Amino acid sequence: MTDLPLLTATSLSYAYGRRMACQDVDLEIWPGEVVAIVGESGSGKSTLLGCLSGRLRPDRGHVAYRDRDGAVLDVWAEPEARRRLLMRTDWGMVHQNPRDGLRLRVSAGGNVGERLMAVGARHYGDIRQAAQAWLERVEIDPARVDDLPLAFSGGMQQRLQIARVLVSNPRLVFMDEPTGGLDVSVQARLLDLIRGLSRDLGLSALVVTHDLAVARLLAHRIVVMRGGGIVEHGLTDRVLDDPHHPYTQLLVSSVLPA
Amino acid sequence: MTSMLRLVDVSKSFVLHNQGGIVLRVLDRLSLEVRAQECVALVGPSGIGKSTILRIAHGNYAPDSGRVIVAADGRATDIAAAPPRRILALRRDTLGHVSQFLRVIPRVPSIEVVAEAARDAGATPAEARARAEAMLARVGIPERLWPLSPTTFSGGEQQRINIARVFVVPYPVLLLDEPTASLDAENRRIVVGLVREARLRGAAILGIFHDPEAREAVATSEIDCTAVLRAA
Ligand SMILES: Nc1ncnc2c1ncn2[C@@H]1O[C@H](COP(=O)(O)OP(=O)(O)OP(=O)(O)O)[C@@H](O)[C@H]1O
Ligand SMILES: Nc1ncnc2c1ncn2[C@@H]1O[C@H](COP(=O)(O)OP(=O)(O)OP(=O)(O)O)[C@@H](O)[C@H]1O
Ligand SMILES: [Mg+2]
Ligand SMILES: [Mg+2]
C-alpha cells in the first residue's frame, strides 16, 4: 500500500433543489482499500457515490483522483470527455438498480464485452471468451452469454452488472448495494471475489450496503452516514464493536450480531 | 528482553447512548508491558475488563485516553492514534489475535482461511498452503474437512480453525482470549504446546486463560485485574 490516497473528497455538498442530500463530506480512499458506507434510507449514500463517481456535479467541494501516472486530477474541473474516459476505464459503477447499469438491448456477453472494448480489446473471440469466463466467476451459466439481461432474474442482472464492471480491471469501483437481493451463497462468492481483487490486484472499492455482516466481512473501513453527513468512521470492527455515536449504536444494536 | 507491547495510562469507558446515557468505566489509567518471550496472563472475575484490554491492544476498541505502543521492525506504533490502514498492516504481520468468534466469508474452504493469514503476512501461495496444511494437521482437523467452509463446523472445530489461522504466522505479539475454551483435554494440550513454542521463539503474549492448568503451563506472570482495574 502506498501512502497516498487514490481518491480524496473535500467538503462535498449536494442538494436536490432545496433539499440538502449530502453536506460537507470529507473522505479518502487508499489503493487496495474497501470502504463501506452504511446509514439509513435517505441519508445521502447514493448521492455521495454519485458525486464521487463523476455522475452528480457537487454544489460545493472537490474530488481529487490520482491517476495511473501518479498525477492528481481535480475530477470536477476536468473536461467532460476526460471524466467520461475515467468512468469507462479506471472506474466502475455498480448501480443500486441493475437496469441502470446494463444495456438492456444488448446480450449478456455484449454487456461484459463492451467495457473490454472501451479499454482497447478488439479481437471478437477473446472478448467473448473473457465475457464467458466472467459470467462463470459471478455464477451465471456461460451458455447464457447470448441472452438479453431482461431474460435474467434481478439477482442475475445484479451479478451481470458486477461482471461488466470488473472485467476491465478498474482501479476503483463504486457499488450501490451490490449484494442486495442475492441469496447468501451467491453473496458469499461475490464477497470473496471482491476481497480477492482488492488483495491481489489492489482494487479499491466504495460499497454502499445496509447489511452490517457484509460490511464486516468485506470492508477495511466503515463510514456511517446520517442526514447527509458522516457521523462516524473508522476501522470496520472498531465501528461495529465499539460504536461511539448514538446513531451508530442504534444501527449496530438493531440488527442481529454481525 | 525488548518491550513489544506497552499500555500507558489507558482509560476506557462505554457510553450507552440509547440506554439513558449510562457510562461504564472499565479501565482507569491502566499501564502494563509485555516483553519478548513473556506470557502475561490476565486474571479476574467475569466482566472486570480482561477482554477489553486485549481488544484495545488489537485496535478493536478505542481507548478514551492513553497510549498503546506496539513495536514492529524497530518501529513503535501507537495503536490508539494510528490510522486504520496502519492497524490493519500490524494485524497482518505483527499482532495475532485469537478471539471466541470465527468470522469468515461463507464458502471459503478452511485450508484457504488459514493459508490467507500466512499469505497476508508475506508467504508465497505455495508456502502458505504448506504451512496451513501443517497447522491444520497439528490442531487435529481431519484432512477431509480442509476443503469445507468452517461455518458449519462444531464449536471446538471452529475454535481450532481460529487458532490455526493465528499460529500459522509467527506473529511477534499474540493476544489470546481464552484460546482453550470449548476444547477437550487433548486439544487443550495441543494449544498449550503451540503457545509455549510461540513464547520460546520470542513472541510476547498477553492472554486470558480460564483453565488454571493451561494458565500454569504457559504463563510467565499474572496480572490480577481486580487489583489494577478500579471498576466504577
Ligand atoms: N432525484 C432526486 N430528486 C429529489 N430528491 C432526491 C433525489 N434523489 C434523492 N433525493 C433525496 O435526497 C436524499 C438522499 O437520497 P439518497 O438517494 O442519496 O439516499 P440513500 O442514502 O442512497 O438512500 P437509500 O438507502 O434508500 O438508497 C433523500 O432525502 C432523497 O429523498
Ligand atoms: N462493546 C461494548 N459496549 C458496551 N460495554 C461493553 C462492551 N464491551 C465490554 N463492555 C463492558 O465492559 C465490561 C468488561 O467487559 P469484558 O468483556 O472486558 O470483561 P471480561 O473480564 O473479559 O469478562 P469475561 O471473563 O466474562 O469474559 C463489562 O461490564 C462489559 O459489559
Ligand atoms: Mg441509495
Ligand atoms: Mg472476556
All residues at 6 or more sequence positions from B189 whose CB lies less than 8 Å from its CB, including other chains: none
* pLDDT band for position A2 (cuts 50, 70, 90): low
Residue B73 has pLDDT above 90, yes or no: no
All residues at 6 or more sequence positions from B7 whose CB lies less than 8 Å from its CB, including other chains: B30, B31, B32, B33, B53, B56, B57, B66, B67, B68, B69
CB pairs under 8 A between A and B: 58
Taken in order of first residue, the domains within chain B and their CATH numbers are 1-94+171-232 (3.40.50.300), 103-166 (no CATH)
Contact of B14 with chain A, judged by CB distance below 8 Å, is answered with yes
CA atoms within 13 A on the CB side of B79: 31
Question: Hey, which residues does B223 pair with through a beta bridge?
Answer: B42
pLDDT of residue B230: 58
Which pairing describes strands A60-66 and A7-16: parallel, antiparallel, or unpaired? antiparallel
Residue A48 has pLDDT above 70, yes or no: yes
Rounded to whole angstroms, the Cα distance separating B113 from B133 reads 11
**φ and ψ at A177, to 5 degrees?**
50, 55
Rounded to whole angstroms, the Cα distance separating A73 from A85 reads 13
**φ and ψ at A208, to 5 degrees?**
-85, 125
Give the residue on B whose Cα is nearest the Cα of A192.
B105
Question: Hey, which residues does A205 pair with through a beta bridge?
Answer: A34, A173
Contact of A184 with chain B, judged by CB distance below 8 Å, is answered with yes
All residues at 6 or more sequence positions from A131 whose CB lies less than 8 Å from its CB, including other chains: A108, A109, A110, A112, A113, A116, A145, A163, A167
Grid coordinates 481483487 are at which residue?
A: A197
Q: B38-65: per-residue pLDDT in tens?
A: 999 999 999 999 999 999 999 999 999 9
| % chain A with pLDDT above 90 | 80
pTM to 2 decimal places: 0.94
Rounded to whole angstroms, the Cα distance separating A86 from A82 reads 6
* pLDDT band for position A179 (cuts 50, 70, 90): confident
Torsion, Cα A242 A244 A245 A251, to 10 degrees, reads 10
Whether B85 sits inside 8 A of A253 (CB atoms) is no
Chain A contact probe: residue of B10, B15, B16, B17 with most A CBs at under 10 A? B17
Grid coordinates 466472467 are at which residue?
A: A134
Return the DSSP state at A223.
E
Check: CB of residue A191 under 8 Å from CB of residue B105.
yes
Which pairing describes strands B3-16 and B65-72: parallel, antiparallel, or unpaired? antiparallel
Q: Residue B47 Cα, ligand 2 centroid: separation in angstroms?
A: 5
DSSP of A85-139, one letter per residue? HHHHTTEEEE-SSHHHHS-TTS-HHHHHHHHHHHTT---HHHHHHHHHHHHHHTT
Whether A217 sits inside 8 A of B105 (CB atoms) is yes
Q: A94-135: per-residue pLDDT in tens?
A: 998 999 999 999 999 999 999 899 888 888 899 999 999 999
Q: Residue A75 Cα, ligand 1 centroid: separation in angstroms?
A: 22
At B144, which helix (H) or strand (E)?
none
Residue A183 has pLDDT above 90, yes or no: no
Q: Give the minimum alpha-carbon distance from B184 to chain A in angstroms, rounded to a whole number.
A: 27
CA atoms within 13 A on the CB side of B87: 24
Give me the residue from B60, B105, B120 closest to A242, CB to CB: B60
Rounded to whole angstroms, the Cα distance separating B166 from B224 reads 26
B18 vs A contacts (CB less than 8 Å): 246, 249-250, 253
pLDDT of residue A225: 97
This complex has an ipTM of 0.95
Residue B28 has pLDDT above 70, yes or no: yes
pLDDT of residue A187: 85
Cβ contacts of A252-258, under 8 Å, gap ≥ 24: A252/A212, A253/B18, A255/A212, A258/A212, A258/A213, A258/A215, A258/A216
Sheet with B65-72, side-by-side order of all strands? B22-35, B3-16, B65-72, B75-78
Rounded to whole angstroms, the Cα distance separating B148 from B141 reads 11
Residue A161 has pLDDT above 50, yes or no: yes
Closest C-alpha to ligand 1, atom 27: A41
Residue A257 has pLDDT above 80, yes or no: no
Return the DSSP state at B121.
T
Summary mean pLDDT of chain B: 95
Instruction: Indicate the angle between helix axes A124-137 and A154-166, nearest 10 degrees.
Output: 130
Give me the residue from B18, B61, B85 closest to A1, CB to CB: B85
